[in-house]
Amino acid sequence: MKRLLYIPFCIALMLSCKKDSMDTLSAADFLSIQGKWYLSATEKNAIDGTKNVWEPIEPSKADTLIFRSDGVILEPDGKPACCAPGTLIINGSVMDVKPQIALPANPLCALVNCVNCPSWEIQMSGSEMIVKPCNNPRLKFVR
C-alpha cells in the first residue's frame, strides 16, 4: 500500500521542480556594449584592509577590446582575443558568446596557456564598463 503512495508523490515532486534560469540578453540588448573599449584603470587590493583603489593606466599602455554584436571579443587587429570567455554576464543578464561569422585564426593564442574562465562579469554604466574576469582584478574600460 505504501508503494502506491510513493508513485504519485514522486510524480508530483518531479512536476513541481523547475529549472533555475538567469535572464538572457538578446542581440538587440547587446548593442550597448558593442564597439571599442579602452582600458583606463585596474583595481588594486588595499594591503591594510581598507577600500580597494583604482590605479589609472597610462594611455600608451592601455589595452583595447572590441565587442562584436554576437559577443565575440576581438583584439585591435581584428583577430579573436586569446582566452576569451564563452559567456558574458552583463548587469546580471547572461549572454552566450556564439560567433555568427567565422573567425580568423590568431597565431598568438597557440603560445598562451589559458586558464579555464567560462564567464566574465561585466557592469555597464553609461560609457564606463567594469570587467571581472574570473580570479583576476577588476578592469575599468571607457569608450
- Tell me whether residue 133 is in a domain: yes
pLDDT of residue 59: 80
Query: How confident is the model over 86-101, as a mean pLDDT?
Result: 89
Asked if the structure places residue 3 within a domain, the reply is no
Any domain includes 62: yes
Residue 93 lies in a domain: yes
Residue whose entry in the numeric block shows the C-alpha cell 558568446? 97
Please give the sequence-ordered ranges of beta strands (E in DSSP) within 81-135, or none if there are none.
87-90, 93-96, 119-125, 128-133
Number of domains in the chain: 1
CA 125, chain centre distance (Å) = 15
* pLDDT for the residue 33: 85
58-62: list long-range contacts, CB under 8 Å, 24+ apart: 62/38
> What is the band of 18 on the pLDDT scale with cuts at 50, 70, 90?
low
Q: Domain range for residue 121?
A: 22-142
Mean pLDDT of 121-139: 90
pLDDT digits over 48-74, tens only?
A: 767 888 999 988 888 899 998 888 999
Residue 11 counted as domain residue: no
Confidence of residue 22 (pLDDT cuts 50, 70, 90): very low
- φ and ψ of 132, to 5 deg: -115, 95
Q: For all residues of the chain together, what is the average pLDDT?
A: 82
Q: Is residue 12 part of a domain?
A: no
> Residue 68's closest CA among 53, 55, 79, 57?
79
Q: For 5-29, what is the mean pLDDT?
A: 60
Q: How far apart are CA 48 and CA 25, in angstroms?
A: 39
The grid cell for 54 is 583604482
Q: Could you read off the pLDDT of 23-32 as tens digits, one per residue?
A: 455 555 567 7
Distances (CA, A) of 48 to 45, 60, 110, 136, 138: 9, 30, 39, 20, 19
| Residue 17, domain member (yes or no) | no
- Region 12-41: what's the mean pLDDT? 68
| Residue 108, in any domain of the structure | yes
Checking if the pLDDT of 125 tops 60, the result is yes
Cβ neighbours, 10 Å, residue 118: 8
